[in-house]
C-alpha cells in the first residue's frame, strides 16, 4: 500500500491527500509531528533529506515535493486526471498551481516563520503581517487569473491540480485571518471543491492527529 508522510496542517501534504482521494487510492498515513520538529530529526531526514512533508512511498519509489507527487500519481493512475488534455490547458493549470506552490507557500512555510521569529527577532504581529502580505498578494493574482478561464473550478468544470493547491492555501489563509472577502471567484471555486468527498476527507480537521491531546484545547 502507498505510504504518505503527512501532518494534518501541512498544506503540501493536504494537496497529496486530496489527489490520493480523487484517484481513489488507499494509503497508510505516517504522521510527522511538525510542532516538535520531528521533520528536522535524523530519522525523518533519512526519508526526506529536506526535512519537509510530504513524502510518498510507493514500493521502492520514494518521492518528495508535492507537485512532483501529484504528477506521478496522475501518470500512474490516469483516471480523474489532474491536468487537462490540451497543452495550453495543462500549462495554465500548472501555472496556477505554481503560483501557489512556488510564489506563496514557500514564503510562509513554518521554517520561514520560525526564522523570522527566532534569529531575526521579529514580534508575532510582524510575522503575521508578513504572512498575510504574501498570501493576499498571491491570492489576488490567482483571483485575477480566474477572471479569464474559470468555470465551476479553477480551469473549466473539472477539478485540476490548480484546485488541489488552492484549497489548502485557502485553509492556510483562513488560519492566519487573511481577509478573503475580495476574492469571490476563488472562494466560489474553493466552496465547490469542499463539497466533494475527496476534498472533505483530506481536510485537516478530518485527520486523526487533529484531535491529538498534544495540541491542547
Distances (CA, A) of 97 to 117, 162, 163, 215: 28, 4, 8, 30
* CB 110 to ligand GSH: min, Å: 3
* CB 203 to ligand GSH: min, Å: 15
Q: Which of 4, 6, 10, 190 binds ligand GSH (CB under 6 A)?
A: 10
Query: Which part of the chain contacts ligand GSH (CB under 6 A), choosing from 88-96, 104-112, 126-134, 191-199?
Result: 104-112
Q: Give the Cα-Cα-Cα angle 57, 158, 153 (nearest 5 degrees).
A: 100
Asked if 48 is part of the footprint of ligand GSH (rule: CB under 6 A), the reply reads no
Q: Which of 109, 128, 132, 187 binds ligand GSH (CB under 6 A)?
A: 109
Query: Which part of the chain contacts ligand GSH (CB under 6 A), choosing from 62-70, 135-143, 144-152, 209-217?
Result: 62-70
- Contacts by 204-208, CB closer than 8 A, 24 or more apart: 204/8, 204/9, 204/14, 204/171, 205/8, 207/6, 207/8, 207/17, 207/29, 208/29, 208/31
CA 68 to mean position of chain CA atoms? 13
In the block, cell 518528495 appears at 64
* CB 24 to ligand GSH: min, Å: 22
Asked if 34 is part of the footprint of ligand GSH (rule: CB under 6 A), the reply reads yes
Q: Which of 4, 5, 8, 12 binds ligand GSH (CB under 6 A)?
A: 12
Size of interface with ligand GSH, in residues (CB under 6 A): 15
Asked if 101 is part of the footprint of ligand GSH (rule: CB under 6 A), the reply reads yes
- Contact residues: ligand GSH, CB under 6 A: 10-12, 34, 39, 52-54, 65-67, 101, 109-111
Amino acid at each position: 500500500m502507498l505510504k504518505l508522510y503527512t501532518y494534518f496542517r501541512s498544506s503540501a501534504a493536504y494537496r497529496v491527500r486530496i489527489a490520493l482521494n480523487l484517484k481513489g487510492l488507499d494509503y497508510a498515513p505516517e504522521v510527522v509531528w511538525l510542532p516538535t520538529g520531528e521533520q528536522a530529526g535524523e530519522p525523518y531526514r533519512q526519508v526526506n533529506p529536506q526535512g519537509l512533508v510530504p513524502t510518498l512511498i510507493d514500493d521502492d519509489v520514494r518521492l518528495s515535493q508535492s507537485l512532483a507527487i501529484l504528477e506521478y500519481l496522475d501518470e500512474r493512475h490516469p483516471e480523474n486526471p489532474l491536468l487537462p488534455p490540451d497543452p495550453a490547458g495543462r500549462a495554465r493549470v500548472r501555472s496556477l498551481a505554481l503560483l501557489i506552490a512556488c510564489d506563496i507557500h514557500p514564503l510562509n512555510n513554518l521554517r520561514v516563520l520560525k526564522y523570522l521569529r527566532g534569529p531575526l527577532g521579529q514580534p508575532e504581529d510582524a510575522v503575521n503581517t508578513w504572512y498575510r502580505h504574501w498570501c493576499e498578494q498571491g491570492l489576488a493574482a490567482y483571483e485575477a487569473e480566474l477572471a479569464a478561464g474559470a468555470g465551476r473550478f479553477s480551469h473549466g468544470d473539472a477539478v485540476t491540480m490548480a484546485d488541489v493547491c488552492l484549497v489548502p492555501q485557502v485553509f492556510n489563509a483562513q488560519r492566519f485571518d487573511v481577509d478573503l472577502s475580495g476574492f469571490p471567484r476563488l472562494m466560489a471555486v474553493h466552496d465547490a471543491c469542499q463539497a466533494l468527498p475527496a476534498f472533505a476527507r483530506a481536510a485537516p480537521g478530518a485527520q486523526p492527529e487533529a484531535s491529538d491531546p498534544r495540541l491542547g484545547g
